[in-house]
Amino acid sequence: MRAARLIRMVLLLQSRPSMTAAELARELEVSERTVTRDAQALSEAGVPVYADRGRTGGYRLVGGYRTRLTGLARSEAEALFLSGVPGALREMGLEDAACAARLKVSAALLPSLRDAPDSAARRFHLDAPAWFQEPRTPALLPVVAEAVWDDRPVTARYRRGEDEVERLLEPYGLVLKAGVWYLCARVADGDSARTYRTYRIDRFSAVEPLEERFTRDPDFDLPGHWAEQAERFARSILRAEVVVRLSPEGVRRLRYAVEPVSARAALSGLGEPDGAGWVTVTLPVESEEVAYAQLTALGAEAEVLAPESLRERFTADATRLAALYGRGDAG
């Protein structure tokens, strides 16, 4: 454990002109006294750590001392910054190890490769809440991915319903959503306007990369674009409405029972609660069937007021539950 901390301390000092004991202590999550002992240990091991005294002092490396990883190509450096999923690493207890690895690579890369983290972030965004589902890998994914990395336009044939259409695309980035791969691309429309669209890669029937390269729009934000598209899609499928009366606990739990966009729409204009503290909201839903499954999770904290057919369904369920749990025995 201490060896890893000492290495991280060297890399931190290598990446900055100097750091105070307090700054190092925060980064390493240790006391300033431990920083002092670690600096002494590094010095005794031959690492030229120098301590500047005084109020503006701190620790620094002298003599141009550097550690360096050699032999990394650009593609290898970029791939390293795609190798960690922060949420999953944190849950597995590997966040510190991943942080140290990224720091090592950042500190050791040649100046010409220092933009590798930003380059990778602009080209790939992972949105995969269902961690334990096996992703489906489309046959054309490697071709599309290579075009994304090389900034090469592609001629793509895409299945849309019963038809196939052909488009000239500038592939900007890949998104993996719940096991499904998507391509975010810029399209040249007939009026020469540039439009960004999203395609499911498993619906491509043919992809042919071109020889030339396109110039990326430096303002394109892949995570932001995906979030906007996802929000638009979520709103598009909410074609029905349910009027629901919610208890204070029901209001709190609503966001965990329904789609986030649906909960936000319902709770955005909350009126005054009634005498019992309950509020009435209009909830956008995909269908009555979906609403039934979602609102069942709220139990007695929600009362469906409309539509009448859904209210009758919950009434029938309540009657059955009362009969089931009202029996004198448990068997």
Whole-number pLDDT of residue 181: 83
Statement: residue 47 has pLDDT above 70: yes
Q: For residues 291 and 287, what is the distance between their CA atoms, to the nearest angstrom?
A: 6
Whether 166 and 122 have beta carbons less than 8 Å apart is answered as: no
pTM of the entire structure? Answer: 0.50
Going 118 to 123 to 127 to 128, the CA torsion angle's sign is: negative
Whether 35 and 57 have beta carbons less than 8 Å apart is answered as: no
Q: Which residue has the tokens 């439009």?
A: 195
Whether 28 and 10 have beta carbons less than 8 Å apart is answered as: no
pLDDT digits (tens, 9 = 90+) for 120-150: 667 766 565 555 556 567 888 888 988 998 9
Statement: residue 259 has pLDDT above 80: yes
Whole-number pLDDT of residue 244: 95
Statement: residue 87 has pLDDT above 50: no
Task: State the DSSP code for 136.
Answer: P
Whole-number pLDDT of residue 252: 93
pLDDT digits (tens, 9 = 90+) for 280-323: 999 999 899 999 999 999 999 999 999 999 999 999 999 999 89
| Top-confidence residue, 117 or 267 | 267
